[in-house]
Amino acid sequence: MNKKRVIVAMSGGVDSSVAALLLKNQGYDVIGMTLRLWSSDEDSEVGEVHNKRCCSVEDVEDARNVCDVLGIPHYFVNFEKEFQEHVVNYFVREYDSGRTPHPCLACNDKIKFDFLLRRAMFLEADYIATGHYARLDRSSSGVKLLRGIDSGKDQSYVLFTLNQPELQKLLFPVGEYTKKEIRELALDGGLPVADKPDSQEICFIPSGNYREFLQERIKARPGSFVDTSGKVLGEHPGIQFFTVGQRRRLGLKNNGLEPKFVLKIDNQTNEITLGDESELYRKRFSFKNLSLTHESYRTEAIDVFARIRYKAEESQATAIFNEDSGIVEFKEPQRAITPGQPVVFYRGEELLGGGIIENVLDDGPKIELSKMLSSV
């Protein structure tokens, strides 16, 4: 009987390395594949910054060494062009529009689960696997995407764009374990990355200074800080450098007054509206790019638990769907609903899908379903 072949996307970190270990132990024909996504002058540097980034020369060597230990083939593929177009350019374009993007989402959607999946099919693989902390529940009716066992590491939030054809081809072996258990498995398996620190920053901005990164690539769009009445409070260097909910680095003197927060960024006038923290709390917003893990979930309205940022708690909400867009109304106000960020929908342990936050809407009285749909 032929073994099922699986391509494991290996970043050189402990999670993807243990994914390869687990799958080999389960009897799969495992091939490790490391993606070259980003290069810069920092590839020749060593030290603290280097340890924070992925895609480095050291990461490729770590992945290759893990494959040697496991006795599996290792391939190195260059997706720099695709990464630049679909992740970096998207990141820059969104900030230039006064929105706050999530680059890991774009990387998963376009690079890992599109280009890599196609490459895996070319190599006649049955599956691709990653080190994401998420789980899959397979049955005759399809594949359900579930949260990872480790609630502190769960990454289902950045996987909401997956649909049934992709889910059928995916494996997430580390999602059944906690991070502590993954490191123990790596140590027991003799993997050289057992104690390797996790990458913390955006992989193409290892310094964490996204302002500097943007300044090198786009022209600043300066404008005015205004309050909710339109009164000018001061000037800012560019809408690209701010995000909804931000309080620090506004460059304004508060003269003993209560601190101000970014409430809204207008990419037409370049005005940034500031206000009190209490004004950040809203219930209702529109979203676009609706994606559902199963088409049977596509109803006019559905009660869900929704999450509006990676580390946020889910909260009860009603989601209204209209083809590829919709509106979400939370039961309780949420802090700093941010255009450009994902919103994802859960029912129990299952992730149903999500979209990209478009506009924060006035709360007011509850809107009738028909009127909500017509406003999307």
Which residues are known catalytic residues?
107, 203
Contact present, 236 and 242 (Cβ < 8 Å): yes
- Are 68 and 44 within 8 A, CB to CB? no
Give residue for tokens 């339109």.
230
Task: Give 74's strand partners.
Answer: 32
Classify residue 190 as left (phi > 0), alpha (psi -120 to 50) or beta. Answer: left
Residue that is written with structure tokens 């989402």 in the block: 105
CA distances from 165 to 109, 168, 294 (A): 13, 5, 10
The helix/strand/coil state of 331 is strand
Q: How far apart are CA 96 and CA 218, in angstroms?
A: 7
How far apart are alpha carbons 349 and 160 in whole angstroms? Answer: 13
From the CB of residue 91, how many other CB atoms can be counted at a distance below 10 Å? 22
Return the C-alpha torsion angle 296, 299, 301, 305, nearest 10. Answer: 20
User: Is 251 within 8 Å of 344 (Cβ atoms)?
Assistant: no
- The whole-angstrom distance between residue 163's C-alpha and the CA centroid of its chain comes to 16
Listed in sequence order, the residues at least 6 apart from 139 whose beta carbon sits closer than 8 Å to its beta carbon are none
What's the token pair of residue 127? Answer: 């599956």
Taking phi over 0 as left and psi of -120 to 50 as alpha, with beta for the rest, 211 belongs to alpha
The residue assigned the tokens 């374009």 is 93
3 state SS of 240: helix
Q: What is the DSSP letter of 255?
A: T
